[in-house]
Amino acid sequence: MLLLPVIFSLITFRVALASPTEQTLDLRPEYFNPKLPPRALSSSKRFEGSSDLVNLRYHMGPVLSSSPINAYIIWYGRWAPQQQHIIKDFLLSISPSSGAAVANPTVAGWWKTVSLYTDQTGANVTRSVLIAGEYSDKRYSQGAHLTRLSVQQVIANAVKSAPFPVDHKNGIYLILTSVDVTMQDFCRAVCGFHYFTFPSLVGYTLPYAWVGNSGRQCPEVCAYPFAIPGYMAGGGPSALNPPNGDVGVDGMISVIGHELAELSSNPLINAWYAGEDPTAPTEIGDLCEGLYGTGGGGGYIGQVMRDNGGRSFNMYGRNGRRYLVQWIWSPSLKACAGPNALD
Ligand SMILES: *[C@@H]1O[C@H](CO)[C@@H](O)[C@H](O)[C@H]1NC(C)=O
For the cut 90, the answer to whether the pLDDT of residue 265 exceeds it is yes
- Indicate if the pLDDT at residue 47 is higher than 90: no
- Give the chain's mean pLDDT: 88
pLDDT of 192 reads 96
Q: 211 forms bridges with which residues in the sheet?
A: 176, 192
pLDDT of 78: 98
The residue-averaged pLDDT of 85-103 equals 91
284 pLDDT band, cuts 50/70/90, is: very high
Q: What count of other Cβ atoms lies within 10 Å of the Cβ of residue 208?
A: 24
The structural domains of the chain, with segments of one domain joined by +, span: 27-337
Q: Is the CB of 115 under 6 A from ligand 1?
A: yes
Looking at per-residue pLDDT, the higher value among 264 and 48 belongs to 264
CA–centroid distance, 181 to ligand 1, in Å, is: 39
Question: Given pLDDT bands bounded at 50, 70 and 90, which one contains residue 110?
Answer: very high
Q: Closest residue (by CA) to atom 2 of ligand 1?
A: 116
334, 54 in Cβ contact below 8 A? yes
122 CB-near residues (< 8 Å, 6+ apart) = none
How far apart, in whole angstroms, are the C-alpha atoms of residue 114 and residue 131? 18
- What is the number of other CB atoms lying within 10 angstroms of the CB of residue 83? 22
Q: What ranges in 93-218 are assigned the alpha helix state H? A: 107-114, 150-160, 199-202
pLDDT of amino acid 55: 85
Average pLDDT in the 216-227 region? 95
Which runs of E-coded beta strand occur in the chain? 30-32, 56-58, 69-76, 129-137, 145-146, 171-177, 182-183, 192-196, 207-212, 272-274, 304-306, 312-313, 315-316, 322-323, 328-330, 335-337
Ligand 1 atom with least separation from CA of 127: 14
Alpha helices, H only, 223-288: 247-265
CA nearest to 69, candidates 17, 131, 121, 129: 129
Ligand 1 in contact with 124 (CB < 6 A)? yes
Q: Is the CB of 128 under 6 A from ligand 1?
A: no
Range name among 79-83, 99-103, 286-290 with the lowest pLDDT average: 99-103
116 lines ligand 1 (CB under 6 A): yes
Identify which of 64, 120, 124 to mutate to test ligand 1's pocket (most ligand atoms within 8 A of the CB). Answer: 124
- Residues facing 129 on adjacent strands: 69
pLDDT confidence tier of residue 38, bands split at 50, 70 and 90: confident
Query: Which contiguous run of DSSP H or E holds residue 5?
Result: helix 3-18
* pLDDT for 25 beyond 60: no
- Distance (Å, whole) CA 267 – CA 220: 28
**306-334: b (≥16 Cβ within 10 Å) or e:** bbbeebbbbbbbbeebbbbbbbbbbbeee
> How far is ligand 1, taken at its centre, from the CA of residue 69, in Å?
17
Q: Sheet of 69-76: strands edge to edge?
A: 129-137, 69-76, 171-177, 207-212, 192-196
Find, among 99, 101, 74, the residue nearest to 87 by Cα: 74
Q: Could you tell me the end-to-end alpha-carbon distance of the chain, in angstroms, rounded to an integer?
A: 46
Give 105 Cα–ligand 1 centroid separation in angstroms. Answer: 20
